[in-house]
Amino acid sequence: MVREVPLLQARGLCRRYGAITAIDGVDVSVYRGEVLGIVGESGSGKSTVLRLLNLEEPADAGTYYLDLPGYADQNLFTMDRYYRRQIQIRHIGIVYQNPYLGLRMRHTSSGNVAERLIMAGERNFATLRQAARGALSASEFPLERMDDLPIRLSGGMQQRVQLARALALRPMLLLLDEPTTGLDVSVQALVLDTLARIQRELQIATVIVSHDLGVIRALADRVMVMRHGRVIEHGLTDQILEDPQEAYTQQLVYAKL
C-alpha cells in the first residue's frame, strides 16, 4: 500500500528564551491540502511554533522536514543558511496578525507583493506588475487600491495584501498567525471566506494559529491544543470541539459557548 507522505514533518521542537521554555517537544505534521489549527491560551507557545516552521528562528532541538523535490531528506534546521532562506522565500508563505510584521508600510501594496517575486529573482517590471495584480486579485483585494501604501488601507485590506504577498510564489506551506484577529466581525467573515476558498483551490498545506475557536472550526481539519509549551490534545476538529477529552480543552471550548 502506498502511503502519502506529509508535506511537513517536524519532531521534538524545542525553543528557549533565557530561562523561559517557550515550546518543549512539539511534533507537527501537515499533509498537502490539509489545514492544521493550533489553539491554546496566551503564552502557550503557538506563535513560537509558527516562527520555527517559518525558519525565522533556530530551534534548540528538533527536526524539520518538508517533502520538496531535492530537499525531502534534509533537516531544514541544520541546512546552510542560504538554502534555508531560499526555501523560506519560495515554499513558505506567512500572514501575521500584525500587518507591520508582514508588510513594508513605505512600499505600495503591489510593491509589497512584487518584492516577494524580486527576492526569487524576477526583474522584469511588466511581469512583476502582472503577477502582483494576479495575486492581489486572487486575495480579493480591490485592485484600484493596489498602488496605495498599506498604512492607508483598512485592516481587512492589509490582511489581503499580506495574503497576496504570502501566495505570490505559490508556496507549498501557508502559515497563518491570528490572521483575522482584530478585524470587525463582518470583515473577519469575508477574509475567512477568502482563506477557505484559496485553501480549497490551491490545496496548500496550512497551519493556522488562532485563539478564536470559530475561526478554527471554519478552516481547520485537525487541531492541536497547546498548554505551557506542549501539545496536550490533538485530533480532528469536530472531535476536539464537540468532545474534548482534556480538562483544559474542555475549559477552552466551553468558555467560548
List residues near ligand ATP by CB under 6 A.
17, 20, 22, 40, 42-48, 211
For ligand ATP, give the closer residue by CB, 139 or 159: 159
For ligand ATP, give the closer residue by CB, 41 or 122: 41
- Residue 188 CB contacts under 8 Å (≥ 6 apart), including other chains: 156, 180, 215
Supply the minimum distance, in Å, between the C-beta of residue 16 and ligand ATP. 9
∠ Cα 192 195 200 (to 5°): 125
Supply the minimum distance, in Å, between the C-beta of residue 4 and ligand ATP. 29
For ligand ATP, give the closer residue by CB, 53 or 132: 53
Place of cell 512584487: 114
Say how many C-beta atoms besides its own lie within 10 A of residue 110's C-beta.
23
**H or E element: which one contains 242?**
helix 237-242
∠ Cα 45 222 86 (to 5°): 65
Grid cell at residue 178: 491570528
Supply the minimum distance, in Å, between the C-beta of residue 46 and ligand ATP. 4
Supply the minimum distance, in Å, between the C-beta of residue 236 and ligand ATP. 22
Supply the minimum distance, in Å, between the C-beta of residue 59 and ligand ATP. 13
Q: For residue 14, what are the β-bridge partners?
A: 24, 61
How far is it between the farthest Cα atoms of the chain? 56
How many Å apart are CA 160 and CA 195, to the nearest integer? Answer: 9
For ligand ATP, give the closer residue by CB, 20 or 151: 20
For ligand ATP, give the closer residue by CB, 46 or 116: 46
How many Å apart are CA 219 and CA 196, to the nearest integer? Answer: 6
For ligand ATP, give the closer residue by CB, 157 or 231: 231
Supply the minimum distance, in Å, between the C-beta of residue 189 and ligand ATP. 21
